[in-house]
Every structure is written in C-alpha cells, then in structure tokens.
Amino acid sequence: MDERGLFYGQGIMLFAQDDQPSPVLWLGHAGGTRSSNAVVFYDIETGAFIAVAINGQLSAIALANQLRKCVRQFLLEQ
C-alpha cells in the first residue's frame, strides 16, 4: 500500500499510527465505496476487536480509532 503507516499483505492490513506517544498498532482490514466504508481490526494494545461499517462520507477508520480510545479508557479505569 502506498499510504504512510499502512502495510498490506494477503488481505491483512497493519495500521501503524506513529503520531501517538507510543505507536498504536492495529491488525485488520478496511475498504469501501464512494458511499460507504468499513473496517474491522484487532487492537494489539488493548486486545479488543472493533468493527465499524458506515454510510456516507464519514471515515470508518476515524470512528474506529475513537472507539479504540474509549475502550482503552474503560480498561484503564477498571
């Protein structure tokens, strides 16, 4: 893949977000069309699986990242 921080092979994508204090790694797959997009991934840090499918111009990856942050915050409070 030609996007920075995204590595792809045999249907599996490694999302590496290095804009965080420590790199955030997801394993999963994302895709879509003009009117919808989806992502499913395993967050290595929290052990959570997150899946988002959305219609419209919103980003499933951005929404999934917000969910990941909520899951992480929830786990830290336990």
pTM: 0.73
What are the residue boundaries of the structural domains of the chain, listed by start?
6-72
17-71: pLDDT as tens digits: 666 666 677 888 888 888 899 999 998 888 889 999 999 888 898 898 889 889 9
Q: In the prediction, which pLDDT does 18 show?
A: 62
Question: 38 near 32, Cβ under 8 Å?
Answer: yes
Q: What is the C-alpha to C-alpha distance for residues 3 and 51, in angstroms, rounded to an integer?
A: 21
46: left (phi over 0), alpha (psi -120 to 50) or beta: alpha
Name the DSSP class of 65: H
Kindly provide the residue ranges of all beta strands, DSSP E only, lying in 1-78, ordered along the sequence.
Answer: 6-9, 12-17, 24-32, 36-43, 48-55
Name the DSSP class of 23: -
